[in-house]
Every structure is written in structure tokens, then in C-alpha cells.
Structure 1
Amino acid sequence: MDSANGMYDPVSFSNDASKTGTFWGTQPVVQIGDVPSAEDGPIIVPTLEAIARIPQTPYQLPDGYEWCQVDVTTPLQAQELHELLCEHYIEFNDTFRFRYSTQFLLWALCPPGYHRNLHLGVRETSTNRLLAFIAGIPSKIRIRANVIKCAVINFLCIHKQLRSRRLTPIMIQEVSRIAVHLGIYYGVHTAIHHHHSPVSTVHYYHRILDVRKLVDVGFYHIGRGATLAREIRLHAVPDSHKTTGLREMKASDMDQVIRLYESHFRRFGIAPIWSKSDMQHILLGGLGSGDPVNGRRPGQVVWAYVSENQKTERITSFISFYSLPITVLKNESHHMIDAAYLFYYAVDVPTESVGDATFHKSQVHDVVHDTVIEASKVGILSHSPLLFTLILFKLGFDVITVATWMENQIFLRDLKFERGSGHLHYFLHNWRTAPMGDIDGDDFSSEAEPSVDAGQQVGLILV
């Protein structure tokens, strides 16, 4: 929690990363204090000789534990992983925990081209309980002028009772070993700890939607001299769109959406390279099933919208966000924060406006403005077990969270996003490039417009 504003920050991190400093000193990563390289490229060139030095057999686990693959396409194993992450992945002050649904895990871990053997688990031999997990997701990523195949490392989670067993280095080595034998020689991961030199750092911001609820659960604190009524008024959501023709994205939009994405994401120093099937999975693969009720389909985890010129049927922008609820512990009134996270977006720039920074900023601002409105309208049905009756009530997302990747600095102040306490470092494995998008010094508290370096921002989001 932030001592100033009480806001919670979602992050991806190694559960015991603070204990792995010696380990990272042995890995092919840019070390703290290294002089930035003049040229981008591998730290260890993946020659046949270098690959031959990688073990053919798995790294040894402590006695009583064994490696396994976790198949999230099967309900039982997906539920096992769901329970492990909900109980042991990320928790803050015994107050909040992320709640990754089985549908979310299927969407996040199984894009086109995924490898099940990179969904690596550790089980207790005697009970077969799943006690640890790490995922490597094959991805094609552009880092400045180079396109490389990477394993995006995510969901490193170790049961609290095993934190003293030093499993983190072994798990990272094993998933890296498997990746190399699949022809993947580079990696990307994020962490809150500075265990080696990051390529970039982002900060988290929050747009409060349900002020009363977030104050009740301790997610948001009212400042000295302010009142709840004033905060509710200040955080009220506009009821009109600035972007015309906004509608839900369809599969038939993919060709135009890819065109927008490729044009827009050239601006960033690090960004995914996606095929049509990749993008369809990322933006439409988590839509759930059936008809929406109060704006949601059963099992829905991602929402995607396009703005379409109704005369020409040309799509001029798209935007997406995903849902990741937060379990609230030790609160009798509320048991979940319904959190939305801004995801990928892109805007079209007409030929006559290419190079017009003001026009581009206006387009980004307006399309995100409308997402704030949509997020506040998406409703859910909930109940209060405290009353021992099923009391249904309709409410929208409680908060929208963004980080300062892409061009989010453009709209943060105007759309009333407030800075939280958290930050996130991006790290590369076996790839060297100069740092990009260094925004550690920006607090956006002055009246000056935050600067945006179009060629050096992060365009890669890890969920």
C-alpha cells in the first residue's frame, strides 16, 4: 500500500527474488553497473557449441519433489494452478490477493504456438500436490531493430512453505533449459526487485471508479481535509463518448486491427510481433461464451472495442482491457475488488496528420477516455453472505489500473489517474540493449505535459 494515497499496485515478481542476487550474477544478463553496449545483440551467441553445454536432463530438485507439466486445458489441473496462484502468488499486507480464474489462465498461457512443457510445475512426490509453477510463453518480440524469439517468463509462484528451499533459481534454470532445447535462446521477464540491470521501468496508476467501496476496503484513502462526498464527485465518470462509432470488436475486424497495430507499435522500442491468429487470441480469445448479461459473458476476461467510421467502415482505433479481480481479506462488507487493466490499443493517423504530435495525443486521449466510461458501465451480479440471503446488486468495475508503458502518460492527468506506489522493471535474458523509456523521474505532478519519446517506450504488456 502507498502511504500517501493507499493505492494497491499489481506486479509480477519472483516470490523470493531478493535471495537470488548471487544466482543472477552467473546468468547471461546485463549486470548492474555494466557500461551500455553500443550494439544490440546476444550476450552468449547461441552457437552449436554453446547449446551443447546446456544439460539434456532436468535440474535436480530437493528430495521429495518432482517436476511436472501443468496442462491448463484440463479442468482439474487448471483448478490446481488457480488455487496455487490465489493462495501463494501475490499478497499484500494480509489484505489483498489476485484471483486468476481458470478462464484467465487458459487465455494467458495458451496463445497460438504455446509449448505445454514450458508450463512447468513442482509437485510433492508423496501427495502429488502442486507446490510451485513457472511459465514460459514463446513470443516473437522486436527489440529496437531486431526481431527475436523469446520466452516470456511469468507466473513464477512458490508455496509459502517452500520459500526457504531456494527453488527460484532452479526453476528459472529449468525453464530456460527447456526453452533452449526448443530453439528459444532469449527471454523477457518483469520484477519489482532490481536483481540485475533492467531495460526499462514503468510505474502504476489507478483511475478510481467506486470510491466508497475502495475506501471501505482500504484500497484508497481519503486525504486530510477531504470528504467522501467530495471524492465521489471528483471521481465521477462522464456519461458521453468522445470517440464516435465505438462498438465491440469482431473477428472480421482483425485485418484492419492488425494494420492499426503494426502502424502504431512501430513507435516503441520493444513490442510484440503478432500474426492474425495471435491477435485474435489476445483480443478475442478471452471473450467468454453465450450472451452478455449486464455487459459480461460467462467466463469473460478481456474486452476489446473498435471505433469505426460508419460511412466508410474504416476502423480508426481499437482499445482493450482485461479483468483481474482482487480478493479482499478480512473485510465483512466486501470480498472482491473488481479491477480492470488497460491493455493494448492503437489509433489511426490520417496521411495529412502524420507527424502531428498534437493530433496523435488527442486520438489516444479520446479512445482511452471512452474506455473509462465503458469500464464503469460493465456490471456484475454479486451477493453479501453476511446477510445469509442472496442479495443481488449491479455494480461496475471498481478501479482501472494502467502502467506508464506505451503512451499512457498522455492521458493520465486529464482522465484522473492517480499514481500508486508500485513500479515494475523489465529485464532481458541473453540480450543486450541500451535502456529505453527511462521515466523514473517523472511524477506528473507539475503542470507541464509529460514527455513521450515515440521511439523508446515499452510496448509489451505482461498480464
Structure 2
Amino acid sequence: PASPQRSSWDGDNQDQNNLLAPSIEVLPTGTLKLYKSMQAFEFNPRGMIAAATAVAPKQTHSYKARAACSGISECDVRMLRQLGAGACGVVHKAWLPREARFVAVKKISVLDRGSRHQLMNDIKALCNAPPCDGLVQFHGAYHAADRGQIAVVLEYVDGGSLADVIAKVGAVPERILAPITARVLRALGALHGRRLLHRDIKPANVLLTRAGDPRVADFGISATIPDATLAACHTFTGTVTYMSPERVDGLPYGLPSDVWALGLTLLEAVTGKYPYDASAGVMQLMVQVMEEECPLPAPGAVSPACRSFLAACLARDPTKRASIEELLRHPWVAGSGAQGGVLQRTAMAATLRQFMRCTHDVEEARGDAVLAACARFFRALATSGRAGEAGLAPLLGPTCVSGGDGGGGKRARAVRVGATEHSGRYTAAKTVEQAMRRGAPADVGLWVESVDWKSITGENQGPPLAARAKLHMQLAGAEEPGPGSATVLLLDLGGLLGGEDQSGLADRLKSALDALGLANKAQPKDNYAFWSTQPVSQFGEEASTSSSDNGPIDTPKTVADIRQAPNSLPDNFHWDNCDIDDDKQLTEVYDLLCQHYVEDDENMFRFAYSPEFLRWALKPPGTRSEWLCGVRVTSSGKLVAFISGIPMQTRVDAQELPMVEINFLCVHKKLRHKRLAPVLIKEITRRVNLAGIWQAVYTAGVLLPRPAAEAQYWHRTLNPRKLVAVGFSRLAPRMTVARAVKLYRLPAAPASPGVRPMARADVPAVAALLARHLARYRLAPVLSEAEVAHWLLPLPDVVHSYVVEGEGGAITDMLSFYTLPSSVINNTEYNTLKAAYMFYTVAATIPLSKLLNDALILAHTTGHDVFNALDIFENGEVLRDLKFGIGDGKLRYYLYNWRVGKTLVPSEVGLVML
């Protein structure tokens, strides 16, 4: 439809429920007080209070409201990225640390009368609402006095809206839409039971969780009517395209107008298009709505039950329109149940993200690694049919099996897994197999139903409760299953989540997944427009099992074959070599990377490379100025893009090659639509080729054609108090900060005798030691003494290197790590997170676990908050024992113009890139 905008033509004073327009009062204490319809709310930075007997100015009536609706204050919320903006305010995604969840924060100005009106309506509708899972949840509100705003803290609904689904897939299948409709009807029933008229039901206001569950949102123009049977509202307000005929005609309207809007919303969803012709403008559209019958789908286009349901909603005469209660009994939605939307969400995978994607991503708001690993584990087992190979019994212990009738003529079985429940001796694997045989699953889903998060975060005031999570597996065999036709496997992991350190369990589950080949790996895209034109290994190529197939991919060339002119840039941009010996230019590179380089998905952390680090990283021996390639705006000289190449002699299996290491590819965020990244890659390739070098190595977190190796990040907590405060980590079940500090405590000094900082005199011995060590790996650098001196001689807050001096002064072992801080975004307590990254370590005479523990101690004593490592070298064998936790990111190694016949495993990689 054309411009589905809200209108408000006649003024709010025409509504009988609007006995008092929202007014504002600032108390001497600094508290802000809003009045509307004999109800008052007080706001300050510490939260919101609904007055128990709120008397509006010059009124004798009072309204009994809930006392103390909100305990959320401004300092409790950490703002992240902006989600959207409208006429009345801005919505941000935010982090609520005390509840370990993401929330949506809607900021509304109190200086505008219309905004105050919508604010009060939102709060009245949600604050006093009884529990209803079809309504967006209200967490609280507070006053941001310095900005003249009230911030309303709401549930973060992460699957988009019904409008997004329609835009992406067109018509929504009935078997998905019917269960969603059932929940929306229950939500509207809860509102109408309180005599509350929503007045703005439309696809954009039906939000969806990632599990496919709907949430009715946006109560800014809702109205309370004195009698549910009366047409008591007169105001022309709302979205014109979804107004009922009586509203468009200016007649009094009531609860049936919401039913019309819902019917029109569902009609648009089931057909994939708005039913009226809105091309001629709003006035012509209003005439159609007033004078014509709503164009229902043709017989056969939808099921008869669906067409009957739509007709009941879209009767032009409001007195003949079905009520919410009648619609809930309609055959089209009756029996779809509360779980139907979840049962069918896998069919919406193109538009709704899978609820369980990978470790650390399940229940994104909580970030619990154990739940994530368990979820992936059972989901993969269900879909693979290989449960018998999983060895679940050692991981989960005995189970208690009890029968129950799931309805629909099938038997459902509930399985509780926990350390305290020993009746019954089924193994979990056996039960999974039995459930699958009974269900013959065609559609499998898995999700977390409910968790006692107070217990998990250690904030419960009563006796310690077992942290409980329920993983549900819906095994649906019928073509259009209802809740009774599914076999349900219910796993209660209360006994599992009660321990102090859950990293071991999460890692064991992940290992089991990997062993079965069930890990949720990143999938290649159908088309890589740029990379398909480059000399790199492509997806779909037949993999070799022999390193003898190694070799260049591109046709052999000479320097004479390379074009001399630079690649073309858009108008008003030009190439520039960045001289990092010049402090001004180094600062420009530093500023560009700090603001526009790698940032985590939730915008909570951003790499903060120091100028000293950049000079160290970008100027090893043999660096060429033309390989530090920048793009500037011609008119202003501003640096807006950068890519670097540094020389690195590299060995791949038995072949030693001159290569460049490509790094720091960065484009200003506002210019990424210009597709400068491919141009930067082609230009750095041209410049390197002119030097007679034809191969390169680079790393990325994203999946591109095609990785030569893939490594996993691991993290070891050094400063748990700070990591929890900034949102990098969260407390495990029953864990407190004090207990976490004790758990991750390290000795004050290294345990290995003879550990000291590396000195320049140690360079020859370290170079020889490192060369012998790196010769063991299939992919490794070949470092000269000059390069060893550059990369490993200690620099304050850049690189930390230590050697172990044995008897007679011989250097027997060495360890190193580099410092890479991250900016902490929107945190008032901390602005920097100091991370240590494992560099090159050689354990020749000391066990690797002992040497790495010394590295942890040294990193902690030098003020680092977390120690990061990849599972390359032999690291994977010892990281878990040193209390490292598996991370949520992978690093992929790529080779340009070089084919590796046999793909490398992490333990065959001996190359660390910054």
C-alpha cells in the first residue's frame, strides 16, 4: 500500500476516554510526573513508579494503579545500536546486565504533547497488563533528564515483524499463519478484556521472535472504552490502510474495529499483497473501504476454513463482525494451539533466523554456552538419526521416563535428565532413538522454553535453585501437524547447569558434535561474484588427499604482463601510499581502523589498535611503501579506505614461497555501498605482482572461497570482575563474582625456573629454536633473524616475549603474546578491554601446559583482562585444562593463487597473523 501512515485529524479531545490530555510536572526533587486520564506516573533516572492513588491536577477522581512498576534505572541499561526511528522517538537495542538479556529501549520526548500522549498509552497498556505471551513484555521505564526523554524498556523481539516476512516471502503458508493468528487473538482478547482498543493492528505491529511466536506491539494510540459493547471512540487516528469502514466514515467505533484490522492483516499475509488498490491515493482508498466489500481471495486460492475466517473478520457492518471469542473457536485456528507457530518455524527458515544456530548464539540474550551446546547437540542428533553413536549417557547421566498422552491418538513421552532423578535406567540416546522411531520426524525443531535466569546469574535471594532449562524437541511426522500429533521429548537440564564451571560440558558436547560430523558449520553462499573471478580455491572443486597437488592456480605470468596504471576509483577519490613513519599519516590510519574496522555483532566492542601497534604490524623488514595502500577523498584529503601487504617468506608443505600477508582491509562505513573492497584487493594484488610476488596469505572470520584451514578461538578469563561488567562474559549458574575471581586466580609469578624477558642478545638462539619448531607444521613462516628481532623483541603494550634460560645460559624454550585492546562501547565504568593474544611459543623442555600457564600469569601481571588463543600448533590439547572456554568465532586461513591439495587441520598450522 502507498504510504501507510498514521493520521490524527480531529484531535484527541474527541475521545470520551481522554478525560485529561497528558500534562507534565517537574517536582522539586527532579522527578518528572506525567498525568493522563486520572493516572499519574513518576519518572526519574532510577526508574518509574505508578502512583497508588494518582490524582490529576484539578480533578477529584483517582485511579488505583500498580505500585512500583519499574526497578530499571538509566545506569542499568547499556545502549547498543539503533533499531529504528519514528515520529515520536527512537528505538535502540540495549543490554541489561543484571538480567543478562537484550532489551529494546524506546526513547520518547516528553516535550511534545503528542509524544506524551503515546507514551502514556504505551505504559498504561503494558505496565498494568496481566501476563500474556502474545503481548510484548514491559520491563520498566526511566527519565533521561538531560535529554528530555522517557526511555521505555521493552522485550527485544528479534525475528522481525509479519510485514518483514510478507516482504521477503510473499504469501505466508496457512499452516504457519494459523498458529500465529491464534496467539494474536489471545493477545487481543487480553486487551479487549480490559476494555482496551489497540487501534493500530497491522503487519508491522505483529512482531515475531526467532522461534516464530508473535508479539503484539505499539500501543501508542490505544484507547480505553467505558463499555466493551459500545462504539465509544471518535478520533480519526491510526494507519489509514488498516482502518475499518466505520472508522474511515467518521462514525463511532469500538472493539470490532480491531477485528477488521486483524482480518485485513491476515488477508495481506495469506495472499502476499495488500487487498485494496492504494495507487490512486489515500482519499480514493478510503472510498473503496467505505463503499466496497473487502476483496476476499477467490475460492480455491486459500482453504475454505481460512476464507470463512477472513469473511468473519471483514464484515462491513461492525455488528455482524465476529468477536475475539468467536474467532478463537473458529475451525481455522482452533487446534493450532500455542505451540503451533514454533512447530512450523522451520518452514520459515528463509525469513526467521534459526533459533539455535551455533555455540554461544542460542538464547542470544543470555549467551549461555552450555545451553547452546546442548541445543545444537540434540537438534543435530534428531536430524541425523545417529543418536546411538553420541554416547549421551556419560554426559547427561540417568533419566527418568514417564508416560503421558500427547493427544491426537499418539503417545508423548516426557524425559527428565538430571543428577538427582534416578528412577528408570534409559539412556538419553536410547530415548532419542525411541522418540524418533515413534514420530518418524519430517520436521524437527529445538528451542529453550524457560530458564530460571535469576538462579543462573546468582541474583536469587532465596535458597539456591537449580538452574533449569527445558530443551524441547518436536518430532512432527504429519504433513500439517498440530500439537497433539507431535512426539515431544522434554529434557530438563537442571542437574547439568548447577556446577561452577560449565566450559567443560560445553566443550565435550561440541567435541561430540564434531566427532559425529554434526557441527553447525557456516555454509557457503550460492554465488561469490568477486571471489569466483579470483585465483583461489572454489567451493565445489574436488578435494585432493595429497599435498603433491599443491601449486599455483593462475596461469604463470611475468611482471611485464601486469598493467602499470592503478585500478580506477569513483570520481573524487584517489590512491595514496600511507607513510606510517609520518605521525600525521599514522594517526589517520589509526583513526580509520579504530572507527571502521572489526566490531562485534552486537556493537559492544571494537578493536582499538594503538599507533605503536600499527607501526610494529605494518613495518617489518622488507616493507614497501606502495603496499600500504590508501584511498582518499580528493576534495578533502580524508583517508576513507586502507589495505596493507607485508612481505613474508612462507612454507606450504615442502615448498617455500615469497608471499605477502594481506591485512587491515578497511572501508569507511558510509562508503561501503561503493564496493571499494574488491577494488582495494585488485589494486594491492597489482602492486604486489609488480614486485614479482604471486601468492598471498590472509585470514577472515567470514566464509569465503575456500579456506585452506580453519581455527577456533578460545578465551581464558584473567579479570572476571571486569569481563562481566562490560558484557564480554557472564556468570555461570550459581556463580558469583567472588567465586569467579577465586576460580580464575593465578599465581603471582611463573612456575618455570629461568623465565625472563627476551633481550636482543637472544635473537639468534630464539630464531634457531623457532625455526626448528615451525618446521613441524604444514603452513608456517620462514623467519630471518631480522624478522625475529622485529616481531619478538618486547615493546611496551605491543608485544611481550619471554625466554627460558637453562643451565649455561642456553635458551631452551620461549613464549610470547601481543596486546590488542578493544574499545568498550556505551559502558560508563570501563572504556577499554585489554586482551592478550597468543603469539609464538616453543615448549621444548617444559610441558606446553606449564609454559602456557606461565604466559597466563605474565599476561595477568601486565594488566590484561583476557587471554585469547587459537587451537593451532598443539594448543588444542591443553587449552581446556587451563580453563580456556571455547569462543563463538572462527578464524579461516586463505591462500591467494595457491592450491593446497589436502586441507589443513588446526594442528598443522604454524602461522599467526595479527
Question: TM-score per shorter chain, which class?
Answer: 0.7 to 0.9
Structure 2: which amino acid aligns with 1:32?
F
Cross-structure match for 2:894: 427
The whole-number CA distance in structure 2 between the counterparts of 1:26 and 1:45 is 13
The residue aligned with 2:838 is: 342
Q: How many residues align?
A: 394
Offset, 1:135:
0.3
Q: d(CA) in 2 for partners of 1:71 and 1:330?
A: 33
**Shift of the alpha carbon at 1:35?**
1.4
Alignment of 1:392-407 (within 5 A): 396-407=863-874
1:305 equivalent to 2:802? Answer yes
Q: Which residue of 2 aligns with 1:189?
A: 698
* Letter of the 2:837 counterpart: Y
CA-CA distance at 1:420 after TM superposition: 1.0
Structure 1 position 29 matched with structure 2 position 536: yes
Is the Cα contact below 8 Å between 1:20 and 1:195 reproduced in 2?
no
Worse-matched range after superposition: 399-408 or 112-121: 399-408
Q: Which residue of 2 aligns with 1:70?
A: 578
Query: Is residue 2:522 matched to residue 1:47?
Result: no
Per-residue CA distance 1:103-157 (angstroms, 9 max, x = gap): 0010000000011100000000110000000001111000010000111100000
Distance (Å, rounded) in 1 between the aligned partners of 2:663 and 2:708: 17
Deviation at 1:19, TM superposition (A): 12
Name which of 745, 753, 757 aligns with 1:244. 753
Asked if the contact 1:40–1:431 (Cα under 8 Å) also holds between the matched residues in 2, the reply is: yes
Residue equivalent to 2:852 = 368
The residue aligned with 2:728 is 219
Query: 1:431 and 1:205, CA in 2 relative to 1: closer, same or farther beyond 3 A?
Result: same
User: Alpha-carbon deviation of 1:240?
Assistant: 4.7
Q: 2:589 aligned with 1:105, yes or no? A: no
**8 Å contact 1:141–1:148 — kept in the other structure?**
yes
Query: Are the equivalent residues in 1 in contact too, given 2:537–2:706 (CA < 8 A)?
Result: yes
State the distance in 2 between where 1:56 and 1:313 align. Answer: 53
Q: Which residue of 2 aligns with 1:314?
A: 810
Letter in 2 for 1:70: C
Kindly indicate whether the alpha-carbon contact (under 8 Å) linking 1:5 and 1:420 is maintained by their aligned counterparts in 2.
no
What whole-Å deviation, never above 9, does each CA across 1:158-182 have from its counterpart, x for those lacking one? 0000010011111000000000001
- Whole-Å separation in 1 of the counterparts to 2:672 and 2:821: 25
Aligned to 1:416: 883
How far residue 18 of structure 1 moved from its aligned partner, in angstroms, is 8.6
Report if aligned partners of 1:269, 1:436 keep a CA contact under 8 Å in 2: no
CA contact (8 A) 2:750 2:858 kept: no
Structure 2 counterpart of 1:46, one-letter code:
P
1:462 aligns to what SS in structure 2? coil
Structural mapping, 1:164-313, within 5 Å? 164-284=673-793, 287=795, 297=796, 300-309=797-806, 311-313=807-809
Distance change >3 Å, CA 188–CA 19, structure 1 → 2: farther
**Structure 1 counterpart of 2:542, which letter?**
V
What SS does the aligned partner of 2:536 have? Answer: coil
Alpha-carbon offset, residue 20 of structure 1: 8.6
| Unmatched runs of 5 consecutive residues or more in structure 1 | 7-16, 288-296, 350-361, 379-395, 440-452
Larger RCO: 1 or 2 (CA < 8 Å, sep 6+): 1
SS in 1 for 2:731: coil
Asked if the contact 2:748/2:861 (under 8 Å) is kept, the reply is no
Q: Flag the 1:109–1:18 CA change in 2: closer, same or farther, 3 A.
A: farther
CA distance in 1, matches of 2:535, 2:904: 22
* Aligned-partner Cα distance in 1 for 2:619–2:368: 37
Give how far 1:45 is off: 4.4
The answer (yes or no) to whether the contact 2:696–2:895 under 8 Å persists in 1 is yes
Change (3 A) 1:345 1:20: farther
Residue from 808, 811, 819 that aligns with 1:323? 819
Distance 1:283 1:20, change over 3 A: farther
Secondary structure class of the residue paired with 2:591: helix
Task: Tell me how far apart the structure 1 counterparts of residues 825 and 529 of structure 2 sit (CA, whole Å).
Answer: 35
Which structure has the highest helix share of the two? 2
Q: CA separation in 1, counterparts of 2:873 and 2:770?
A: 12
Q: Which amino acid aligns with 1:461?
A: V
2:658 counterpart SS class: strand
TM-score (norm 1): 0.82
User: Structure 1 CA distance, aligned partners of 2:691 and 2:656?
Assistant: 17
Deviation at 1:239, TM superposition (A): 3.4
Aligned to 1:381: none
Residue 363 of structure 1: how far off its partner (Å): 2.0
Question: What residue in structure 2 maps to residue 446 of structure 1?
Answer: none
Over the matched positions of the two proteins, sequence identity in percent amounts to 39
Contact 1:152 1:188 in 2 (8 A): yes
> After alignment, is 406-415 or 130-139 more displaced?
406-415
Conservation of the 8 A alpha-carbon contact between 1:36 and 1:433:
no
- What letter corresponds to residue 119 of structure 1 in structure 2? L
- Could you list the per-position Cα deviations for residues 413-441 of structure 1 after superposition, in whole angstroms to 9, with x for gaps in the alignment? 111111110001101000011344435xx
Q: Which moved more, 1:125-134 or 1:408-417?
A: 408-417
Partner of 2:670, secondary structure, is helix
User: Is the contact made by 1:88 and 1:157 (CA closer than 8 Å) also made in structure 2?
Assistant: yes
Partners of 1:106 and 1:175 in 2: CA distance: 19
1 CA distance for matches of 2:624 and 2:873?
A: 28
CA deviation profile, 1:72-120 (whole Å, cap 9, x unmatched): 1110000000000000001122211111111001000000001110000
The answer to whether the Cα contact below 8 Å between 2:718 and 2:860 also exists between their aligned partners in 1 is yes
Identify if the C-alpha distance between structure 1 residues 125 and 18 changes in structure 2 by more than 3 Å, giving closer, same or farther: farther
